[in-house]
Structure 1
Amino acid sequence: MPLDYGSVLYDAIKTLHVLSIITWMAALFYLPRLFVYHAMEEVGSATSERFKVMERKLQRGIMTPSMILVFVTGFLLFPTWMTDGWMHAKVLLVFGMAAMHGFYARWRRAFAEDRNTRDHVFYRWMNEVPTVLLLVIIPLVIFKPF
C-alpha cells in the first residue's frame, strides 16, 4: 500500500530519508579521509590504533545505521515514484553508493587487522567516488529529467 503523497506520514518519512542521506554522506566523505591519514602511519603506532577506533565507531555508529535508514525510508517512499525513469537511474546510483560503503567497510577491516596494502593516494581517489555519485544523484532528484 503506497503512502499518500503529501500526507504527514509521507512527509515524516521523507524528512527521515533526507536526514539519513546527510549523515550517510558525511560518513562516506569522512571515512576514506581517515584512511588517507591512517595509511601514512606506522602499523602499531599509537596514532594508527587511534585511527582504528575512530574508523570503527564511524562505520558502525553512523555510516551503517544511516545507510540502513536510507534504504528503509527510500523503500517506503519508492512506490510513489516507481514508474519514473529518473528514479530508476537514482536507485542504480544509490546502489553504487552502497557498493562504495561495502568497499570502505572491507578496507576498514584491513586497517583493523593491520593488513592494509594501499597508500594514501589510493584513498584520496576513493574519497572522491561518493562525491561524483552525489553530483549525479542530486540533479536527477531535483530536475527529474526522464
Structure 2
Amino acid sequence: MSDFLALAYPWTKSLHIIAVISWMAGIFYLPRLFVYHAEQGQDPQVDRLFQTMEYKLLRAIMNPAMIGTWIFGLALVFTPGIVDWSFLWPWTKAASVLAMTWFHHWLGKRRKDFEAGKNDLSGRRYRMMNEVPTLLMLIIVISVVVKF
C-alpha cells in the first residue's frame, strides 16, 4: 500500500490542493451569504432565494470538497516520508483542520437555523465569524510551508 501511495503522491497532492481550494471558497462565501440573508432576508422570496443558494453551496460544493480534502489529506499523511510527527507543524495543521471542520459544521447548523426561521445571529456576527477561516488558513499554510 505504501508503494502505491508513494507512486500516487503527485496526483494525491494535486487532488488535495484542488479540494482545499474548493472547500475554502465555500467556507469564505457561505458566511457572506449569511450576512446578506440576516440583513435582507425578511421578504419571503428573498429568504427562499438565499436558502436555495446556501443549501446548494453547502451540499454540492462544500461537503464534497471537505470530504475530498480529508481523504486526500489522510492519503498524504500515510505516504511514507511526507509527514514527520516529531516536528510541531503537523500538529498545528491537524488542529487547524479539525477547527476548520468544526466551523464547516457550525455553518451547516446556521443554514438549518435559517431554513427553520430561527436564525438569531446578526449580519455583524456573521461578518466576525467570517474571519475564523482566514486565521485557520494562515496557520495551516504557514505550518506546511515553513515546517517549524
CA shift, 1:17, in A, is: 0.2
The aligned counterpart of 1:95 is 98
Q: How many residues align?
A: 142
Residues 75 and 42 (structure 1), Cα distance of their counterparts in 2 relative to 1, 3 Å cut: closer
Task: Tell me, yes or no, if the aligned pair for 2:39 and 2:122 is still in contact at 8 Å.
Answer: yes
The aligned counterpart of 2:108 is 105
Counterparts of 2:136 and 2:95 in 1: how far apart (Å)?
10
- Secondary structure of residue in 2 paired with 1:18: helix
CA shift, 1:88, in A, is: 1.7
Counterparts of 2:57 and 2:74 in 1: how far apart (Å)?
24
CA shift, 1:45, in A, is: 2.0
CA shift, 1:81, in A, is: 0.7
Give the fraction of aligned pairs with identical amino acids, expressed as a percent: 39
Aligned residue runs from structure 1 range 107-146, under 5 A: 107-145=110-148
Q: Which range moves more in the overlay, 24-33 or 40-49?
A: 40-49
Q: TM-score w.r.t. structure 1 length?
A: 0.92
Q: What are structure 2's unaligned runs of at least 5 residues?
A: none
Aligned AA (2:104): H
Structure 1 runs of 4+ aligned residues shifted over 3 Å read: none
Task: Tell me, yes or no, if the aligned pair for 2:20 and 2:65 is still in contact at 8 Å.
Answer: yes
The aligned counterpart of 1:18 is 17
Q: TM-score w.r.t. structure 2 length?
A: 0.91
CA shift, 1:44, in A, is: 5.0
The aligned counterpart of 2:59 is 60
Q: What are structure 1's unaligned runs of at least 5 residues?
A: none
